[in-house]
Structure 1
Amino acid sequence: MDFYQAESEGAAPVVFYLHGGGWMDGDKSKVNKWDTNRILEAGISIVSINYRYVSHAKEASVFPPVKWPMDDTVRALQFLRSKADEWNINPDRIAGMGGSAGACSLLWVGLQDDLADHDAEDRIEHYSTNLYCLALDGVQTTLDPVVTREMSPNAWYGGHAFGFDYSLEKGERDELFAVFYERRDEVDEWIQKYSPIEYASAGDPPIYLYYKYEPGFGARQKDPTHSANFGVLLYEKLRVVGVECDFYYPNSKLTTYDSMENYVIDKLLEK
């Protein structure tokens, strides 16, 4: 965990950052792809973490493998809150910010009811996992292969989260996704548990969704793994339950924000 402390007269709000990489690679240094100096100069501290990959979980016979990066997200957020006094941070103003798989983990935590366990022997587990807001780049809102193929016919991502073989090679990845698709019912319980959209409900924190390309539901996507179609699914569900959601993609009229940094600064510093 890297902590970048902002100069602040009082307890500073915090950006809690998770990197992308499919839960298979990448590290906490990816936070520097964003304008961290601007965030710090606004008086907002930043925390960026590493987490265990699905490959580590699979090697340890932990199933579904996605459990480890998700659990690590919860633990890191609770640890961050435990340091509120020592690090001069405001535990009630923590924004989750991340990309791709890291964004998926944050959304999974952020949409759930508080995961604090006040009966746990470990005091860290007593701390809240609630987030003040979320800013997410290219987030996968569901891991259900039937849904992803319906909205993006060339989708191929997600099976590795549940222990299926996975490849980045174009021909091979499609064949392996077909296995995941055909055997989906075997892992239905896990898909429901680890797909963030399943937890969307009234009272969730405000969310900013950022996607590089316009959505095209039912059409082949330039980048199906980070398709704005994922955002369409979540935006519509949040709209129904009355949760604030800014949804950016080229030519979008569903937000006034054109960057993650602008969003988290405005939200964390709002009165």
Structure 2
Amino acid sequence: MRTLPIYLLAVLVAGSATLLGQDAAPSKKAAKPLGPQYDASVPKPTFSEVKYGDHPRHVIDFWKAESDTATPLVFVIHGGGWQGGSKERVHRFADVNALLKAGISVAACNYRYVKQAVQSGIEPPVKAPLHDAARALQFVRSKSEEWNLDKQRIGAAGGSAGACSSLWIAFHDDLADPDSDDPVSRESTRLWCAAVTGAQTTLDPKQMKEWTPNSRYGGHAFGFGSFAKFLEGRETILPWIAEYSPFALVDKDDPGVYLIYSRPPAIGENQQDPTHTANFGVKLQEHCKANGVACELVYPGAPHVEHETPTDYLIETLQQKQR
């Protein structure tokens, strides 16, 4: 296997979105930084800042592939721990140019952070980013005729928290409400596939601790200030874990998924980066196989690798006429 793409290392580094640029001409006023900007490798979206809801972060960018027939779609959910990041990180999770060349359109969404969920009294806080992403997906499906999209062949992509969100949508029962007066709510949330980077595959602190003893991530998703309190309070939130942890939702009717990590796994051992350890991938792959769900796992030295990158997987899988 060739060396993993360099963006896999970048995607696992949490932090604020990069601010680029300054006024071209000298000014007595302080230069005003621009907002989040796309990497130079990413083409200009066909449509930018399309609103799918009422919150300022309820926006989508869309790249339309040229085609005489309806195109598949890759739906990208950015990472950042559900606490930061933006859709402009799309290049870290999918190669937009390669997808467009393959006749696959792309959409990337923003969503509310957990801090905004807390301010709004949403419980658990993780409900806001997860349901926002699902709503954004429904909105894109509602635009299928206008944007020339195949409603069936939609694959999700993302990194870290965005990867967890993608897996949650992939494994969750359809959130469509066929009786709703809202046409967007009537759209399906089911996926054709998902290809994700550095995913947290469970939000159960007991599983995290068993798989990776130095786990420290996830408490904020349920309103806990530390992992210790998260673990201590686990029994009180079991219904939330059952609803929002991807691992808990896997069943035989779910689409296939692809997981990629930057370091090899070591189950039961402390990890250099426990938040993005391949231990998550090993355990989800075991669980998927036990439930008859296809799951390709990639890391340095991994056996049986068929696709080097998430984009490779997405192109091949979304171009299939049948899943």
TM-score by length of 1: 0.94
Q: Indicate conservation of the 8 Å contact 2:241/2:248, yes or no.
A: no
Work out which of the residue numbers 229, 241, 257 in structure 1 matches 2:279.
Answer: 229
Work out which of the residue numbers 188, 210, 213 in structure 2 matches 1:153.
Answer: 213
Q: Which residue of 2 aligns with 1:19?
A: 78
Q: Which residue of 2 aligns with 1:86?
A: 146
Tell me the CA shift for residue 187 of structure 1: 1.7
SS at match of 1:142: coil
Question: 1:190-269 counterparts in 2 under 5 A?
Answer: 190-269=240-319
Please say if 1:112 is aligned against 2:162: no
Q: Which has the higher helix share?
A: 1
Q: Counterparts of 1:189 and 1:242 in 2: how far apart (Å)?
A: 25
Cα displacement string for residues 177-198 of structure 1 (whole angstroms, at most 9, x for unaligned residues): 1121112222222122110111
SS at match of 2:210: helix
Alpha-carbon RMSD across the aligned residues, in angstroms, is 1.0
Amino acid at match of 1:178: A
Amino acid at match of 1:201: D
Q: Counterparts of 1:123 and 1:36 in 2: how far apart (Å)?
A: 29
Give the % identical residues: 49
Runs of 4+ in 1 over 4 A off after TM superposition: none
Amino acid at match of 2:188: S
Q: Which residue of 2 aligns with 1:39?
A: 99
Tell me the CA shift for residue 6 of structure 1: 1.0
Gaps of 5+ in 1: 166-175
Q: Counterparts of 2:80 and 2:192 in 1: how far apart (Å)?
A: 24
Cα displacement string for residues 32-56 of structure 1 (whole angstroms, at most 9, x for unaligned residues): 2342111111111100000000000
Q: Counterparts of 2:78 and 2:183 in 1: how far apart (Å)?
A: 27
SS at match of 1:216: coil
Tell me the CA shift for residue 146 of structure 1: 1.2
Please tell me whether Structure 1 or Structure 2 has the larger radius of gyration of its CA atoms: 2
Tell me the CA shift for residue 85 of structure 1: 0.3
Work out which of the residue numbers 136, 160, 177 in structure 2 matches 1:100.
Answer: 160
Q: Counterparts of 2:95 and 2:169 in 1: how far apart (Å)?
A: 24
Q: Indicate conservation of the 8 Å contact 2:242/2:249, yes or no.
A: no
Gaps of 5+ in 2: 1-59
Tell me the CA shift for residue 97 of structure 1: 0.7
Cα displacement string for residues 115-142 of structure 1 (whole angstroms, at most 9, x for unaligned residues): 1111122121111111001101111111
Q: Which residue of 1 aligns with 2:88?
A: 29
SS at match of 1:126: coil
SS at match of 1:246: strand
Q: Counterparts of 1:239 and 1:143 in 2: how far apart (Å)?
A: 20
Aligned residues: 261
